[in-house]
Amino acid sequence: MLQILDHVPSGLLDCASSELADLLGGPTLLHVPGERPEPLHVSVLLHGNETTGWEAVRGLLQGFVNQPLPRAMSVLIGNVEAAQYGQRVLPGQQDYNRVWDGGDSAEHRMAQQVLAEMAPRSPIASIDVHNTSGPNPHYACVNCLDEEHVALARQFSRMLIYLLAPNGLHSMAFSKLCPAVTVECGVPGQSEGVAHAQAYLLQCLTEDLPIPTASVVDDVEIYCTKARVSIPSGMYFSFQDTEAECRIHPELIEHNFQQLPEGTKFGVWGHPDSRLEVEGENGQDLYDVYFENRGHDLVVRRPFFLSMLTLREDIVVQDCLCYLLEPMNQGAESLVSD
Ligand SMILES: [Zn+2]
């Protein structure tokens, strides 16, 4: 399933995300040589509708058509089939960012092939570029809080999310090989997201890595993912329809990355004994920790920072409604090694 190339095919840099499937035929790992041989690993389009990563990579490579990169770069161009249709994932496919922990599907095997191909090349760092489906500030996610991971993430944003779930994340697998981050560049299609990602990739290709850590790790805000919120399968939910069994207030989209205080109205139930699925990192049910039902109103019980809420009902069904975050203590003293 995985194609491995050691050259940039002609015409590739002219392709928009939706045109890559015709040229590449499937997920492709592209080794681009550079002056320093240990590569930076970059992955883009693990979600086919999240186009910023590809736009940043092709913009960067266009600037080096006539000169070598300062460092080799191995680019995984992921779900080009879904990208052709502007979809995160196609029906029948596994989510390309949930398959990095081993398994038997074609997508799981593709992930294992990428890891086997990259490990002997000793990548200096791994950067997985994504977009959020709702408006969020740009931030970086890490699965490990050692200084190298935090320093790599801080180069992108001072806002960091530390997460250990869901399973099968690209960055989680790569964090065993090298410092690895996921960067979230706002919604797709925004030029500032592309420019930010491109500048970050170029900086990582140019600078000495690992980045000196002392100067940067004091200056971060680290949030911890406490729970993932989804709609129970089969429950009719809507952001607008007052007849829905579960109606989530769409104005919450304005509060991504803000703290929702106790008592905030989050939604309205058709039946007052309904519940959302609020799953903690170890799979525990945290509904009663963060939410309560007051009659037909769904309200916040314990304050949290809202993250990645989307109004795309199809994404809510495919993935989840949002994540709940809490801040960790700020500064280097809060860093824990794992
Ligand atoms: Zn994504």
Better-predicted residue by pLDDT, 329 or 18: 18
Average pLDDT, the chain: 92
C-alpha span between 45 and 51 (Å, rounded): 6
Over range 42-51, report the average pLDDT.
Answer: 98
This prediction has a pTM of: 0.86
Distance from the alpha carbon of residue 111 to the mean position of ligand 1, in angstroms: 16
Distance from the alpha carbon of residue 189 to the mean position of ligand 1, in angstroms: 14
Better-predicted residue by pLDDT, 246 or 313: 246
Peptide bond before 166: cis, by omega within 30 degrees of 0? yes
- What are the helix (H) ranges across the chain? 20-24, 52-62, 80-84, 106-118, 147-154, 170-174, 191-206, 287-290, 313-318
Distance from the alpha carbon of residue 272 to the mean position of ligand 1, in angstroms: 33
Q: Per-residue pLDDT tens for 35-45?
A: 999 999 999 99
Q: Per-residue pLDDT tens for 247-267?
A: 999 999 999 889 999 999 999
Three-class secondary structure of residue 18 per DSSP? helix
- Structural contact between residues 111 and 93, judged by C-beta atoms closer than 8 angstroms: no
- Above 70 in pLDDT, residue 338? no
pLDDT of residue 32: 98
Better-predicted residue by pLDDT, 213 or 69: 69
Over range 210-234, report the average pLDDT.
Answer: 81
Distance from the alpha carbon of residue 183 to the mean position of ligand 1, in angstroms: 9
Distance from the alpha carbon of residue 312 to the mean position of ligand 1, in angstroms: 14
Strands (E), the chain: 3-5, 28-32, 34-44, 69-77, 125-130, 139-142, 159-162, 180-184, 221-230, 237-238, 246-248, 259-260, 265-269, 277-280, 291-294, 297-300, 304-307, 322-327
Distance from the alpha carbon of residue 7 to the mean position of ligand 1, in angstroms: 26
pLDDT of residue 39: 97
Distance from the alpha carbon of residue 297 to the mean position of ligand 1, in angstroms: 31
User: Treating both helix axes as pointing N-terminal to C-terminal, what angle do 52-62 and 191-206 enclose, rounded to 10 degrees?
Assistant: 60
Calculate the alpha carbon distances from 36 to 79, 230, 265 in Å: 28, 44, 54
Distance from the alpha carbon of residue 170 to the mean position of ligand 1, in angstroms: 11
Over range 93-117, report the average pLDDT.
Answer: 97
Counted residue by residue, the chain has a size of 338
Contacts of 39 (CB under 8 A, 6+ apart): 31, 71, 72, 73, 74, 118, 121, 123, 124
Distance from the alpha carbon of residue 247 to the mean position of ligand 1, in angstroms: 25
Range in 12-16, 188-192, 304-308 with the lowest mean pLDDT? 304-308
pLDDT of residue 259: 94
Q: Per-residue pLDDT tens for 280-336?
A: 988 899 999 999 999 999 999 999 999 889 888 888 888 899 999 999 864 333 333
pLDDT of residue 329: 61
Distance from the alpha carbon of residue 44 to the mean position of ligand 1, in angstroms: 9
- When pLDDT is cut at 50, 70 and 90, the band that residue 115 belongs to is very high
Over range 9-18, report the average pLDDT.
Answer: 97
Domains of the chain: 3-219 (3.40.630.10), 226-324 (no CATH)
Distance from the alpha carbon of residue 95 to the mean position of ligand 1, in angstroms: 9
- Structural contact between residues 204 and 148, judged by C-beta atoms closer than 8 angstroms: no
Distance from the alpha carbon of residue 333 to the mean position of ligand 1, in angstroms: 30
Distance from the alpha carbon of residue 51 to the mean position of ligand 1, in angstroms: 10
Distance from the alpha carbon of residue 99 to the mean position of ligand 1, in angstroms: 13
Range in 196-200, 201-205, 206-210 with the lowest mean pLDDT? 206-210
Q: Per-residue pLDDT tens for 69-86?
A: 999 999 999 999 999 999
Beta bridge partners of 298: 267, 293
Distance from the alpha carbon of residue 174 to the mean position of ligand 1, in angstroms: 16
Q: Per-residue pLDDT tens for 144-164?
A: 999 899 999 999 999 999 988
